[in-house]
Amino acid sequence: MTGLVYKEWKQNRWFILSMMLCGFAPLFVLLLMRGEISNIGNAPLRIGGLIAGFLVAGALQMLVLRGDDRKLWGYWITATPEGYKGFLRLKYEMIFAMVVLFLFSLQCVDRGYCAVAADMGITEIEEVSGIAVPLCFVQILSRAIDIPFVYRFGSKKGSIIKMIFMVTGAVVISVLMILNAEHFDTVIEMCKKVFNVQNSSLILSVCLVVCLALYYLSYRITCRLYLKGVEQYDH
């Protein structure tokens, strides 16, 4: 396992360390668009930078899977003492660590910025990193969906098949929403009762448990699909 860890670090260390740079995205956007602060506002620019950092971080997390969809590599890793399950576990742990590193960097940068602004007497600056936690939950769920497709069908084919599933799902959900439009008000009222400030800690805790459970389920599914995928890789 030590050899696998070393190999992944040497191959993907810049993607991993780039998670910290993604955490600085709100500040980068603020510096690049400092002339628009008076027109757009400080918080909207930082939120825009946060979302941009979230998207870039997600793309970098997927890049650590590149080159794994090869037959020779699949056969070789299967024959090692750790086996393909150990290899896949390491990949899942590494991507999860990248999500945590991005969140940690983002929280530190945002709170540091707010602390400096408060020391300078600027009291209207508020933290925007509160939305980073739900966004990181989205990242975990997105990777839980992406990884099985990559290892079962390969990077290119997996992306196409995943897109077909997502478009089909979006169409089905849209049709159901149109057919049940008269119940929207009831659903909105229920959401307002459940998702409120008093329940925020409980909701975040439940979401974390659900995300981790689905992430582990994704790992188990990938373990079942991996060898079938190796047989179908182009090279």
Q: Which pLDDT tens digit goes with each residue over 130-158?
A: 788 888 898 999 999 989 988 888 777 76
Q: Which pLDDT tens digit goes with each residue over 3-26?
A: 777 788 888 889 889 988 888 888
- Give dist(CA 200, CA 206) in Å, integer: 10
User: Of 210, 77, 232, nearest to 144 (Cα)?
Assistant: 210
pTM, to two decimals:
0.84
Q: Which pLDDT tens digit goes with each residue over 15-66?
A: 889 988 888 888 888 888 777 666 666 777 788 888 888 888 888 988 888 8
What tokens does 176 get? 């159901």
Give 23: exposed, middle or buried? Use CB within 10 Å, 0-12, 13-18, 19+: buried
